[in-house]
Amino acid sequence: MEFDTIAAISTPIGEGAIAIVRLSGKQAITIANRMVSGRDLNQVDSHTIHYGKIVDPATNELVEEVMVSVMRAPKTFTREDVVELNCHGGLASVNRLLELTLQEGARLAEPGEFTKRAFLNGRIDLSQAEAVMDLIRAKTDKAMGVAMKQLDGKLSKLIQRLRQMLIETVAHVEVNIDYPEYDDVEEMTKQVMFDKIGEVYQEIERLLAMAKQGKVLREGISTAIIGRPNVGKSSLMNSLVQENKAIVTDIPGTTRDIIEEYVNVRGVPLRLVDTAGIRDTDDIVEKIGVERSRQVLKEADLILLVLNNNEPLTEQDRQLFNLIADLQTIILINKTDLPQTIDREEVERLANGNPIVATSLVNEEGIDQLETAIADTFFTGNIETTDLTYVSNVRHIQLLKQALRALDDARAGLDADMPIDLIQIDVTRTWELLGEIVGDTVQDSLIDQLFSQFCLGK
């Protein structure tokens, strides 16, 4: 498959030491060669880097000094000729360089088009392509490790093995339908199908059992900090982030909007949201913040409810307990450095089995216990990433669930003694669903949609 030549800026926009403009396609080296003075790129070895000066072919104007990396197909990320122009990392410099590549015949790449070409040219499958974005977005070492295993093809190999088992079963059925001379063919075929379906079913169940952990590692835990004004929500935010992101004062209502930050807790990314104190207020700005806080609660995976050890529970505290009754919650009793006034027994009763952690954020006490409670809540205390194949992508999870339902239909058909060729339809459907994970049976429209989520230079 041959495509036109594309170009894009592959480094983040902004000032830096270097920036990179990447070209990929049959004309990549030719286009770069017209721009680079002092070196014939057509004559250099593949996978080498060279110093040169960029000259505008139209005006002969000196534009930049660059280091040029030349990588010839097929041993490149896209399996096409690839050139990377390393220039000074200023906005004007890199944009001028990109303009020149377009002037000389390249086309501006669409978001994710380099990775899309790697997929379309057979360099990686669809699950590996999605892992590229997971790797870019990884917030912790563990999340990066999971993405690397998927990029390395661990999930792909497992899915292909399951598909091979299913296709062999379907082939076995076809042969026996075509050659029905033997009386025991039907019975033997059903037994083979029953055994193979059971093996695939167990593997998919195992993948789905780990999916919650994989999804958390990939996307993080959306965590809302709530409580009455001035109980220590912003102090908790700052303690977890280890920076003064939120304003901390003794004045109730200081936080008037939601503040978001990613933090790393035992290798798990928390998308931490410090909300405005939920209370009735006449302040228009604070009222907007309170309404946003209520919306955050509906979307959160975890609630950290902060209470004041130095004050009795109020009706507002009790309303907050009612508000989060069905949500995953950890209760923090803060300000334990002050005399206890809160009724601990009532807190335990209202907590309804949710963990309770005592903290004195001013003295930096209790954060380790909170992190342990979070890890215990989502991972039974630890996360294993060395040997496990995690499914973390929502699309993959939904396809696996559909595949499991198709196998359920096949098993029900076997139990009901249905004709083997009807059961085969559900087995084939499972094979197709698993193929969508790695891109073997996926539609072009879905491919376009997936790669449109990538950054421009990837």
Span 421-446, pLDDT tens digits: 788 889 989 999 999 988 887 666 65
List residues bridging with 263 in a β-sheet: 270
237 in Cβ contact with 272 (< 8 Å): yes
CATH topology for the 129-210+392-439 domain = Four Helix Bundle (Hemerythrin (Met), subunit A) (1.20.120)
Query: In the structure, what pLDDT confidence band is assigned to residue 249 with cuts at 50, 70 and 90?
Result: very low
Q: Is 6-124 a domain of CATH 3.30.1110.20?
A: no
Contact indicator for 14, 38 with CB cutoff of 8 Å: no
Decide the pairing of beta strands 61-71 and 259-265.
unpaired
DSSP string, 174-200: HHHHH-TTSTTHHHHHHHHHHHHHHHH
Q: Which of 88-92, 119-123, 267-271 has the lowest mean pLDDT?
A: 267-271
CATH of the domain spanning 218-379, picked from 3.10.129.10, 3.40.50.300, 3.60.21.10, 3.40.50.800: 3.40.50.300
Going by pLDDT thresholds of 50, 70 and 90, the confidence category of residue 379 is low
> Mean pLDDT over all residues of the chain?
81
Is the pLDDT reported for residue 281 higher than 60?
Answer: no
Confidence of residue 68 (pLDDT cuts 50, 70, 90): very high
pLDDT of residue 325: 82
pLDDT of residue 257: 44
d(CA 143, CA 115): 20
Query: CA quadruple 391, 393, 396, 397: dihedral positive or negative?
Result: positive
Give the pLDDT confidence score for residue 146 in this predicted structure.
72
- pLDDT at residue number 405: 95
Q: Is the pLDDT of residue 388 over 60?
A: no
The confidence band for 20, taking pLDDT boundaries of 50, 70 and 90, is very high
**Per-residue pLDDT tens for 94-119?**
999 999 999 999 999 998 899 889 98
Res. 386: pLDDT tops 50: no
pLDDT of residue 134: 75
Nearest to 21 by CA among 64, 57, 75, 79: 64
pLDDT digits (tens, 9 = 90+) for 151-199: 788 888 899 999 988 888 877 776 666 655 554 555 557 787 888 899 9
Q: Is the pLDDT of residue 285 over 50?
A: no
Of 443 and 399, the structure prediction assigns the larger pLDDT to 399
Domain ranges, ordered by start, for the chain: 6-124, 129-210+392-439, 218-379
pLDDT score recorded for residue 454: 62
pLDDT attached to residue 449:
61
Cα–chain center distance at 86: 29
pLDDT tens, position by position, 325-364: 888 899 999 999 999 999 999 999 999 889 999 999 888 8
The predicted model gives 115-142 an average pLDDT of: 80
